């Protein structure tokens, strides 16, 4: 249904795009190709494939038919030319950066990043002679002032993990590209997924995902992806993935993400609806000092989120009056809600960024990067919103 699906709605394409059942003996679901290598009809055919002169699988480190269906579908949903699925979100980020950078290059990154991304930039890239500057990407003048002739990447998340700041993707992309077309604007779209936001249509060059989260959606896999123009994604496949990281996705994992995509739009709608209700409720509780959620009209990012996101997403951050100790007490009193890192699962998850996902920052770095010690992050799941609220309420009542 490729030609028809290209004109179809998002939910339809998420189910059908990039797969023809007649190519697999009528199998409704794309088969899982559990093979490491592929046989060639002739030496000539093998040589042509290795030379890039003919299409077809070679070896599952470079690609696999199950993986190819996922990549075709994900590229379409993000409205990019090509996608590359990998073994983890950090695999996707590191393979992309290793491909695009060399010693002496410069990266501009937002001041608040997922902890492992920050560690990769600060403790990984810098060891190999890559300079990194952290700026407030909400401040366009700060972004502009940070750019140099050596800048090759501008990188940020939107919304930001864990503080839910929202970046003006279109404005940043225009500013950067006006400065130099040699700079790649890369956006981590994990929090939104293409169901809620498509950075490539707003001017970004590449999108990265932790597919572990909403794309998979069920907390049963680890994976990542990068989406963008075909030339760059092919480079990442042949350099960053094949030769530098080896972050190869398994066919079974690719199959599970395909399954997750089929319900992605429905799940993101439910996550967002429930999160908005919970955020509004939290904002009214006397124990709560501050709620960070772009769907609240009180959020400084409300108007921007309305412009570039179709829904405000399923992630909430907040601080309790009394700071860190009250936050820990609250989290330890949760019953149904699980104390766990990750996000985007059917289960509602709660975690403490300072001691968990963002513990790669020193306390001084967290302070400089706006990650408070008492911040609590919740990934609102698919349970009935009344049950989520009831558990939050009883946990707050003993604080």
Of 213, 270, 326, 366, the catalytic one is 213
Q: How is residue 88 annotated by DSSP?
A: S
Query: In the beta sheet, which residues pair with residue 349?
Result: 338, 379
Of 59, 61, 131, 235, the catalytic one is 61
Neighbour order of strands in the sheet with 349-351 = 288-292, 315-320, 376-379, 349-351, 338-339
Neighbour order of strands in the sheet with 131-135 = 82-86, 224-228, 206-210, 184-188, 151-157, 106-110, 131-135
* E strand intervals along the chain: 82-86, 106-110, 131-135, 151-157, 184-188, 206-210, 224-228, 288-292, 315-320, 338-339, 349-351, 376-379
How far is the first Cα of the chain from the last one, in angstroms, to the nearest whole number? 55
Quote the radius of gyration of the chain (alpha carbons, Å): 21
Q: How is residue 120 annotated by DSSP?
A: I
Asked if 338 is an active-site residue, the reply is no
- Helix H or strand E encompassing 76: helix 65-78
Of 168, 188, 205, 345, the catalytic one is 188
The DSSP line for 207-261 is EEEETTTTTT-SS----EEEEE-HHHHHHIIIIIIIIII--BPPHHHHHHHHHHH
Asked if 270 is an active-site residue, the reply is no
Separation between Cα atoms, residue 272 and residue 283, nearest integer Å: 16
Asked if 114 is an active-site residue, the reply is yes
Q: How is residue 127 annotated by DSSP?
A: G
Asked if 188 is an active-site residue, the reply is yes
**Among 21, 41, 42, 24, which Cα is nearest to 33's?**
24
Query: Does residue 377 contact residue 162 with C-beta atoms inside 8 Å?
Result: yes
The alpha carbon dihedral of 328, 330, 336, 341 has a sign of negative
Query: Does residue 209 contact residue 190 with C-beta atoms inside 8 Å?
Result: yes
The CA–CA distances, whole Å, from 47 to 50, 55, 143, 179, 243 equal 5, 11, 46, 42, 19
Of 17, 19, 33, 114, the catalytic one is 114
Catalytic residues: 61, 114, 188, 213
């Amino acid at each position: 249904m490729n030609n028809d699906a290209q004109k179809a709605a998002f939910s339809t394409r998420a189910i059908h795009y990039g797969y023809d059942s007649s190519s697999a003996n009528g199998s409704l679901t794309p088969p899982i190709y559990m093979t490491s290598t592929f046989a060639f009809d002739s030496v000539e055919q093998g040589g042509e494939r290795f030379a890039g002169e003919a299409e077809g699988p070679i070896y599952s480190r470079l690609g696999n038919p199950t993986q190819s269906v996922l990549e075709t579908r994900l590229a379409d949903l993000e409205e990019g030319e090509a996608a590359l699925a990998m073994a983890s979100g950090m695999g996707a980020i590191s393979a992309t950066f290793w491909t695009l950078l060399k010693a002496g290059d410069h990266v501009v990154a937002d001041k608040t990043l997922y902890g492992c991304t920050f560690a990769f930039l600060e403790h990984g890239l810098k060891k190999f002679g890559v300079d990194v500057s952290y700026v407030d990407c909400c401040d366009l003048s700060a972004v502009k002032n940070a750019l140099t002739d050596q800048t090759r990447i501008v990188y940020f998340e939107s919304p930001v993990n864990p503080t839910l700041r929202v970046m003006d993707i279109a404005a940043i992309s225009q500013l950067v590209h006006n400065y130099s077309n040699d700079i790649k604007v890369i956006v981590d779209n994990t929090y939104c997924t293409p169901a809620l936001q498509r950075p490539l249509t707003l001017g970004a060059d590449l999108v990265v995902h932790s597919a572990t989260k909403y794309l998979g959606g069920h907390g049963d896999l680890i994976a990542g992806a990068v989406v963008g123009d075909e030339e760059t994604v092919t480079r990442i496949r042949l350099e960053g993935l094949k030769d530098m990281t080896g972050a190869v996705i398994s066919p079974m994992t690719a199959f599970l993400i395909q399954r997750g995509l089929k319900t992605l739009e429905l799940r993101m709608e439910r996550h967002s609806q429930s999160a908005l209700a919970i955020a509004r409720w939290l904002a009214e509780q006397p124990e709560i000092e501050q709620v960070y959620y772009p769907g609240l009209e009180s959020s400084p990012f409300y108007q921007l989120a309305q412009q570039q996101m179709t829904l405000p997403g399923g992630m909430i951050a907040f601080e309790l009056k009394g700071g860190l100790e009250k936050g820990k007490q609250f989290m330890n009193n949760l019953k149904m809600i699980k104390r766990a890192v990750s996000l985007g699962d059917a289960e509602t998850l709660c975690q403490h960024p300072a001691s968990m996902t963002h513990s790669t920052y020193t306390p001084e770095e967290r302070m400089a990067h706006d990650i408070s010690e008492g911040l609590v992050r919740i990934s609102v799941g698919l349970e009935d919103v009344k049950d989520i609220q009831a558990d939050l309420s009883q946990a707050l009542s003993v604080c």
